[in-house]
Amino acid sequence: MKHLIHLKVNGDDYELAVAPHRTLNEVLREDLALTGTKFGCGTGDCGACTVIMNGRNVSSCLTLAVEADGKDIMTIEGLTPSGEELHPIQEAFVAYGAIQCGFCTPGMIMSAKVLLDKNPHPDEPDIRAGLSGNLCRCTGYNKIVEAIEKAAHQMNQD
């Protein structure tokens, strides 16, 4: 039996009938076509599926859609008002060579946003802790940490 849920996603309200076993990741990607949120491990380990729910970064693969009922969700598509220009975090990832693949990068950027929203002046350990749920098997993370430091600097000047 399906359940009626209400989500606010990137500022838009949705009413959806979802089966109880479906995850927030499935609903975002399959029902709302918000495929910027990725599906990696499906077990809460990689962070590729990270979205922001009521201000916290969560693994959308481990979050049932019914758990998200009434919640405010932001995906990578909602980072900027039009969805076309880049957010300062995205600009810094490009400028400082921190862009990794399309699977890990969106989740890293969403976790970086939560970090900078809570702590506008993070030091390196803060940044590494903020990204601790986001894995990339291909990088040493140094450029990502540097990009987030630069983004914080830029956002504090704006």
Q: What residue ranges bind ligand FES (CB under 6 A)?
A: 39-42, 44-49, 59, 61, 100-101, 103-104, 136-139
Query: Measured from the CB of residue 1, what is the shortest distance to ligand FES in angstroms?
Result: 26
User: How far from the centroid of its chain's Cα atoms is residue 95's Cα?
Assistant: 20
Distance separating alpha carbons of residues 158 and 153, to the nearest angstrom: 9
Q: Taking the complex as a whole, how short is the minimal distance between the CB of residue 49 and ligand FES, in angstroms?
A: 3
Q: In this complex, which beta carbon is closest to ligand FES, that of residue 17 or of residue 41?
A: 41
Nearer to ligand FES, 10 or 100 (CB): 100
State the minimum distance, in angstroms, from the CB of residue 19 to ligand FES. 19
135: number of Cβ within 10 Å = 18
HEC string of 110-148 equals HHHHHHHHHCCCCCHHHHHHHCCCCCCCCCCCHHHHHHH
Structure tokens at 24: 């927030």
The two beta strands, 12-18 and 3-9, are antiparallel
- Tell me whether residue 34 or residue 104 sits nearer to ligand FES (CB atom): 104
Taking the least distance from each CB to ligand FES, the nearer of 45 and 123 is 45
Q: Give the span between the Cα atoms of 121 and 17, in whole angstroms.
A: 41
**Choice between 4 and 101, CB closer to ligand FES:** 101
Q: How far is the CB of 156 from ligand FES (least distance, A)?
A: 28
**Residue 99 C-beta: closest distance to ligand FES, Å:** 9
